[in-house]
Amino acid sequence: MKKTFIIAEAGVNHNGSLVIAKKLIDAAKDCDADAIKFQTFVTENIVCKNTKKAPYQNKNSLKNQTQYEMLKSLELTKSQHIQIFDYCCFKKIKFLSTPFDEDSVDFLDNLGLNIYKISSGDITNYPLLLKIAKLKKKIILSTGMSYLDEIKSAVNLILKNGTTKNNLSILHATSAYPCPYNEVNLLSMVALHKKFKLNFGYSDHTNGISVPIAAVGLGAKIIEKHLTLDKDMKGPDHKASLNPVEFKKMVAEIRNIELAIGSDKKKPTKTERKNIKFARKYIVALKKIYKGDIFTNQNLTTKRSGGGINPMKWKNLIGKRANQDFEIDQVIKL
């Protein structure tokens, strides 16, 4: 199985601090994530000043604060981005970011970004989709809050404007923070793969690690999960994130599942082959059999004997004469 690409979603969990951002990079590297992803935006370009926060944002961030004010406090400067990018290079972990406006797309392009993550909230953002598609780079498209027709429109737009199918991946997601288990709908991820025939994965917002692990079992090739240094920190996404200990366990379990998925060819494994003759039964004498006696259902049985005639040849043996004496439990030979 191709290794699952695991993204530690730092998002805005740095709380606007370069120091915290670097600690998140350290944690992601220590957790063996393949990449760490931030968010790149100019607040004035993405939200009106009086726009209210989403309910989960109200719950997990400062009260009496507009969405504009919240995002402005979490916005990374270009200088901070460059330092974060350089630190990722130093730590040898892939830097990713989600651009939320066209200016940010240009900035990330100049920074050398070669994989663009498009957020669920921008799946209907025609100008942004078009701009990213024309870069002809790799794209990971999240599909939270969307209907199938909306996803189809976004995919067609991207593929018709420079991006190849090999460079487009699609992520199933449920945009709830945290996401209730009964709203995960992992089978939708499988359905998206069948529908669009694209590389696919899952962006998880549930509490815990069981759902992303299950997604890998269902074939996900990309897993994205929020990472925080402390779930009790103030900020919109900390509560729906994993701490470093949890994230590291998730990565380890995903790698175990990759090994467990293995091959679709059913045959005994190397370890099993050593056990076959000790675990299977073979034909032995049920009672004392003398040379010349006829083998019958009454004088033969099957037991674990460490080898002998396969019991599937039972009918071939019945009616034949013994060519030697056999003691009870002795393996039958012809």
For residue 199, the model assigns a pLDDT of 98
Q: How confident is the model at residue 13 (pLDDT cuts 50, 70, 90)?
A: very high
* CA atoms of 125 and 134, how far apart (whole Å): 14
* CA atoms of 179 and 243, how far apart (whole Å): 17
The CA-atom distances, in angstroms, between 102 and each of 40, 45, 68, 127, 298 are 10, 9, 18, 8, 84
Q: Set out the domains of the chain in order of their start, with CATH numbers.
A: 5-261 (3.20.20.70), 270-317 (no CATH)
208-226 pLDDT, tens digit per residue, is 999 999 999 999 999 999 9
Query: Mean pLDDT across the stretch 138-151?
Result: 98
Mean pLDDT of the chain: 96
For residue 57, the model assigns a pLDDT of 83
> Peptide bond before 178: cis, by omega within 30 degrees of 0?
yes
Task: Say whether pLDDT at 135 is over 90.
Answer: yes
231-266 pLDDT, tens digit per residue, is 999 889 998 999 999 999 999 999 999 999 999 999
For residue 266, the model assigns a pLDDT of 95
Q: How confident is the model at residue 1 (pLDDT cuts 50, 70, 90)?
A: low
165-190 pLDDT, tens digit per residue, is 999 999 999 999 999 999 999 999 99
- How many helices and strands (H and E) does the chain possess? 13, 10
Query: Mean pLDDT across the stretch 79-88?
Result: 98
* CA atoms of 312 and 300, how far apart (whole Å): 13
